[in-house]
Amino acid sequence: MKTRNLITAGIISAGLTFGVVAQAAHEETQVEMKDLPEAAQTTIKEKAGNDQILRIEKETRKGKEVYDAIVSKDGKETAIQVDSKGKYLGTHDEKAEQKEKGEKH
């Protein structure tokens, strides 16, 4: 019986630990353009073009730093995502992501 309780406790502990790690992996920190690697700055400026950059958020995904430059494009907030080497990773609708996370900026 004791072994069974220990195994159950271990499984529950592991599940809670992985849940916290997964949640922490998507934490976003607001940063300044000047604090980004040169390559990331260049790609963001190219992709943003004449669109106003509202803010830049840094997060870690799969152990790598990723930057979301939130721009105002046609009245909508769009995130331009690049990695620390300046590789363009795509765009997404920032409002939809905020709604999904329950956040508000």
Instruction: Delineate the domains of the chain, giving CATH numbers in brackets.
Output: 29-101 (3.10.450.360)
pLDDT digits (tens, 9 = 90+) for 23-73: 444 678 999 999 999 999 999 999 999 999 999 999 988 888 999 999 998
Phi, psi of 104 (to 5 degrees): -150, 130
pTM of the model: 0.67
Is 30 in contact with 55 (CB distance < 8 Å)? yes
Is 61 in contact with 80 (CB distance < 8 Å)? no
Distance CA 58, CA 64 (A): 10
For the stretch 37-47, what's the b/e string if a residue is b when 16 or more beta carbons lie within 10 angstroms of its beta carbon?
A: eeebbebbeeb
